[in-house]
Structure 1
Amino acid sequence: MSDDVPVYLKNGEQVKVNDHVYCSPSWDTRDGTPYSVARIMEFLPPADAPKGAAGRNFLYTRVRLAWYYRPSDVSDRPVADSRLLLAAIYSEVCDINQLRAKCHVVHRDKISDLSGWKKRPDRFYFNRLFDPYIKREFEVIPARDVRNLPDNIREVLISRYEYVVAEKEVIPDLTDQIRLCDSCSEWCPSPETVQCDRCKRFFHMHCVQPPLLAKPTRGYGWTCAPCSKKHEEEVDSHEVRPVVSAAPKVLKSNAPPARGRGRPRKDKSLADKQESFPVKHFKMWPFRYFGQYTVAEDTLDEEDLIFPRTATRQGPKYQANVPLAPDPYNYPPDIEERGGDSTVEVLGVINSLTDAEVAEVEACKKGLSNDPEVKSSVDWLTELIRRYSDAALAARPFTSVNMKYLSRLEKWKKNETPVFDKPFSHEEIVAFEDAIALHGPELRAVRDEVPNRSMPEIVRFYGHWKSGKLGEENRRLRRHGPPPKPINKQYESAAEREEGIHVGLSDDEGSIVAQPSKSPSCGACRTRETTTWWKAPKGLPTNVLCDQCGSNWRRYADLNVRPLRAEDALPSSKSKAIEKREGTPLTGPSTKRARTSASVQSTPPPAAPSAVTLLKCLACSKTGPLGKVLKCKKCHLRVHAGAVGATVDPAQLDNWTCELCENEETLEASINHDCLLCPRAGPEERRMKPWPPSDTLLRACKPTEGQGWTHVICAVFTPELTFTDAARLRLVEGMSTITRHRWTTKCCLCGEIEGAVIKCNDCPKEFHISCAWKQGHKFGFEIQPVKSSRRDTTIMTTFKGETGSMHAIISCKDHDRTKRDIYDICESNEGGETALQVYCQAYKQAPVSTAHGLLRKARRLDNILNIRTEGSTTSSTPDLIISTDPECCECKSHFSPAFYRADNGELYVESSTPSSSSMSPASDGKDYLYCHRCHFGRLEERANGSKAMGMMVS
């Protein structure tokens, strides 16, 4: 895209390259952290736009930003100045819509009135640079202040860069006058220079006779030859040194100090000039490193790296101290010298084998293992090549190689080393993947999350795990082909070129609380009146901030929290009833005598408020304070309260227990906690305590109307199921209405037919909901627009300002969902309700107002029976008899969910329940009707009789 097209933020400000801006995603995404300050380096087209000149005709969708750090981001030391920043030679490409507003950042030396500069809004300054890779701070000085350089190097440095980055101890040498060698008249760089302690002249260390091998140690000085000779002559002459008159002593005076010229005059034109001060940039950077570890001549190269550097690890400090070799004529026979041929471990000599020997190796290799995964393992192949190489060097036949025992004793180790590591358990894999998501490839931090594994095991497993992920991606590409690259932005039109581009989020995007509580209070300054209420970061007494505190936190990371006092507390009902006369103080003098000494029974002072406890939700993997995220005191399940429909008294947050742990005491439902919609757990899984495990959301279960249990996500994402109380997600109903297709379809993830499956929203795959959750599929809710003609018959809801029909979405993790707005389970709106709560209250509420629970169950059963009866009319063997006045021939009862027919031969038809799988025809003859209870009682008697007869025959 052409560079002359202006870019406008949502607030109307125009931004261009090298402007400083606030950058931040939405409030929920950045988790309450303040805005970041950055400099615009360049505007970029979409990532899928064509390369080269063709991509310039596309609208800008990305921007490259050079970041600034706040001192609190890189260290724990407190910094009172909220306008102080740390520069960085670090850039990142971000979405252009993350730009918020413009700001101004200049170097400290460019500001004439610092106090006036900090009083103006959106003004920052810097004088140091932080390198995020070596984690060290450097000084930043103007390039013109560097004088101790040759003219050609200094001119190039000044023409390209505005600032120079160097260590603090190097700054005096750089800003000093140019230093020339007194012997050769060439420039003296600091690492190769020595200064005479008497005449203060500089010399190259190699120009001194004899040459100096090292500089004098700290506390000692060096003198040149003329100065040394002169000093020796003075000492030999025994002349008395002349007495140097001391400097006149300044007498102290009580007079006030001389007044200065006063504070700088507040000149608005000067301040505006400082904001727009031109700054030179070379390849988009205004500074480069020119410190202790820089070769000055390398600055002339345009491709020289500008990043800060550290000392190279060379020299005796970083090398091993190897003793001298023994006398070759008296070499100890029991010592094997390292580094010789006998100490080299041969890993492979395949390249030296003949073609016939290589063919023999390939033939022998096929019979060593039948496992294809083992044969493709790099560790197994490496060990196989080593053993074949040992056999070739020892002239043994290749058929003698055996791979049964996969361990070997290395030359310099005492214990055998296994070829394969012990397989990682499921819990270790989950902890490893969580640590990778949290720390990235910082494997030392990952190892702390998996304490039972050593560092080498973590490194090796990381390689296998990463290769496995790449293999899955390659198999998907081979199966479906590479995904098409859609051009998400079309060519710019002439009108867009003239009008410019309007980008960026507004400053209040997702941060303003439209409807706070009845009596809101700012979490920082305790004020109760403001024009706008902003969302507050975590850890404050309230979840809102006033307009001033909210703006200060987002822009300057400055939040002065005033401690809570008695008068700031909300008035109680008792205090409201007390009325004071006009003119009386709110806090009158106490009638009690002041306590003069501490008593044993005196009330202790109130404890200091403790730090806010942050818990990580197992549903969304986001942290939240205790209250929003609940933790079971028994099994330690951690989940957002809105994801399980829990309402807890704030005073009882520490005593909350999940429903499974609560049922272990009350025994109101079944003690078998297996989900009715998922495959049954094996005996090994049942031995796990607790079961289901508490480190996953599958621990969150809800009771059903038959005293069984089902997972919360299974109940929510199964269309046929409803809740008696959708607000609390209590008592799941409708289990019998799930279609037979769901019960008889095989899950594509676990291969089990048992349980009920659900179809992916984007492909024909069907799977159990719990299996999809374990595999990391996408769970969420999508709001789809509704046509005006269907709005009367469609239930519509509103979430985060979007209105339409809300749908529960389960999508395979391989699908591309970047162009769809899918809300997560725990994503909340302005009122604090999660997407799961909004969906359940709108679509999962059972009709409790129209019918009793038992009547609703009977109606569902009637629907099933009617369907079965209609289907059986075409057949010659109807399975159920529905008459006007049926009567059981055994108990004479007229009331039963169903009546069954049996003939004289005791043939019968099974009940039409979802679990029935076979039907037996009834013979002709006189019909007898049995009620539901008697029918199954006769079946049980018949089964017991058959079992007893079998025992007698055996």
Structure 2
Amino acid sequence: MATSITLKNGDPVKINDHVYCSPSWSIRDGTPYSVARIMEFLTAEDVQPSYKGKGKEPAPVFTRVRLAWYYRPSDVSDRPVADSRLLLAAIYSEICDVAQLRAKCYVVHRDKITDLAGWKKRPDRFYFNRLFDPYIKKEFEVIQSNDVRNLPTDIRDVLTSRYEYVVAEKEIVPDLTDTLRNCDTCSNWCSPQETVRCDRCKSFFHMGCVQPPLNAKPTRGYGWTCGPCSRAHEQAVEGHDVRHVPSPAAKPKSHAPPARGRGRPRKDRTLAEKEESVPVRHFKMWPFRYFGLHTVAEDTLDPDDLIFPRTTTRVGTKYQASIPAKDCARDPDIQERGGEATVEVLSLVHDMSDTQVDELEQRKTRLTAKLNLRSNVDWLTEAIRRFSEAYALDQDFSTVNMTNVFRCEKWKTTQTRYADREWDDDEKAAFEDAVLTHGAELRTVRDEVGTRTIYEVVRYYGHWKNMKLGEENRRRRLLGSIVRTPSKAHASCGACRTRDTKLWWKAPKGLATPVLCDACGISWRKYADLNHLRPIREEAAAAKQGKAEKREGTPLAGSNSKRVKTNGSISSTPPSTASNGTPQHRCLACHKYGSGKVFKCKECQTRVHSGACGIVDPGSIESWTCDLCQNEKTAEASLNPDCVLCARPKRERERDKKALHPPADSFLRVCKPTEGQGWVHLACAVFIPELTFSDAKRLRIVEGISTIPTHRWSTRCTLCNQVGGAVIRCSDCPEEYHISCAWSRGYKFGFEIQATKAAKREPSASVLFNGVSGMMHPVVRCKEHEGSRRPIFDICETNEYGETALQVYCNTYKQAQVAQSHALLRKARRLDHVLEEKDVSATAGLNGHGHGAAAALLVADNDNGTDPQCAHCQTSFSPFFHPLPRAGAFACHRCHFEGRTQMPLTNGHILAHGLGP
């Protein structure tokens, strides 16, 4: 039996080598390769012993291979794992075709690698330190068998001579790696399952060796002391010699290997090649066995003992059903199954000679001229049965015919059909309609068809489903052939957007395009990571252009990886062009050319990352439309796109006729609707602390404009020198300005995480972002403070889950309490709060003979007896009116708190907002 073969790519592999294995064609569909270890090579006779080869002793052809699988963490859990080289071992094997083997790779245990960083930088290198059992769905620790010390000498020698690794639960690993434990009473070895330890003398005892014997270990949180230690303690207590001095908590002893440093990877290639070629002990083709909580140590000496992981057994009254005894008298007329009278031989072909088999095949082709019957399972089964009956009765095969469709079985008194009669068109239509309505409820389908028995419906359902699956597979293969040869004029890689490649690979679902270039396709197949080659490409592009800064962008859906923190000012990286010279899109929020999902509005050409605009389900990246452009068609909000939180400059008359949109080449183009059907800049809604979102994931419906303090509206902006709109204060100086003014002048926007004290920590308000934990605060810095040492996270900077800093902040702090009240009720409560504050201030103004705005609010009737009217929207309906600098002029509550008091409104603005009387 040979122990090595050569793969299609030229790599020679032998037994116990690790290889990439491609899934079968039916389930391939862009999935990554599987990693496995070769256990043995098999021929056709090994797989099927009855297989008869042709010729005299032909050379063995290995068509099958037995593989021991490794799992990726993403295959067994939804938890994101950033390390694409980490695997999970398994005691599970399958037989596959040799043609499915792709290339050779290397898998080594974590403890055998001295330089993990250097190991992961080399191609086709993986490591593992845990095992996953696919049957009980549980993970176990994997340690080297030489590290197991707490075992008798004979058991330990057998274990280390046969197996390289030991599989055990995490809580039992310290007990196995500890020194040898013997019972202080009988001096025999103490197994971890039946051992108890004295808390005073630290000696070990069998639970049956102590007096009185212990039935179970002490409950967690309680201790146990032996008899001598208990008596000594009692004598000390009686003699009043006990001093209750609290002893320092002893740190539990650990026998785990020391932690390795995370320095620069070594360049010792000889050491790496030596580590990957270290021989591994195997016993019956497996390098590890289970030795955990549910193992009897003496069973290890038995070479036939099962090595699979075990769990708590479900044997006992707790897991058994209590069924009362019942006398069941068997009907004497019913013949017992399994006897000679009921067993029917369906085939005797294995007893026929080669001449008889050839004659049977020739006669079988003459029984029918229908090609579909020759491949029908029911027809072939009945034909072989009839030929077998003729062979058993020594009759000639020419006496066999298939004209009679009925057969008489031994255990039935009536004849039955060996094949169902053909279904007509009406029955097929009724069957498909019933399946479409009721699904696989075949008894209901039988009632809908009406002309068939349940047995016929079940059999036809199997044939019908097989036919549908065949059509679907043919359609997939057709689509796969189309995808494998894309048009070079239109195809681009779904990961790196390149159009120049020698070979196209099928991409996984969820990417912008259905294909990957050669480099990304190989990276995805081997490591299941689309970002594997990105750092190499970024460094090459930076070196080519003389720039050291890396690109940032929203990660792809295939894998999420951490981004480098940027603490300095925003700087742009020149766009890298593809082979045809088309530049990539630059996000207007972070001013960087990201290789992730940068969406571009098909109407106004606004470009922004999905995480900086609240895009959750965009559909197609080419058909995305921003909120303002979409509102022009739906008219769900105002047609005036001006931000209600920013100051309004004076416009000329001809510009008043039509509202001007914000510039499309700025992040200020990204606006969100308010609860009053107005618009605000997304940057204004995020960086003004009083505002919230009714849907923080999509950053939609801004609420709380009426809760903004009055001093924000009345303070003059230091940049535009205008009063009106809401201002904020610089994080490092008392300068105050509008959000839009600060953004237009290139001020630094970001988020700072401040550590909270333990006494004041609020778990619900703390965040963990890229290893920094604390309270997240929005920060706006002037250009004079760009050199501040306090680090801040950029708007589009992402964490390991692919969430931007803006997303994390809004989801944590900007979500309105939608589950507690309706949107209209929340708005009414805020208005009641404003009214209460105004009433208090008005009362204070009257008592102090004040002549300010509070006193003017109480003017309900003018001297001429007419109701007050808003000078901007001409409405006379408002909870109260705010005085304007002009004598006798007022503004309604809505115009005042939405910032419309600084400029006259046009009739078009009034009609668009519905502010008329």
TM superposition score category, shorter chain reference: 0.3 to 0.5
> Does 1 or 2 have the higher relative contact order (CA < 8 Å, sep 6+)?
1
Q: TM-score, normalised by structure 2?
A: 0.42
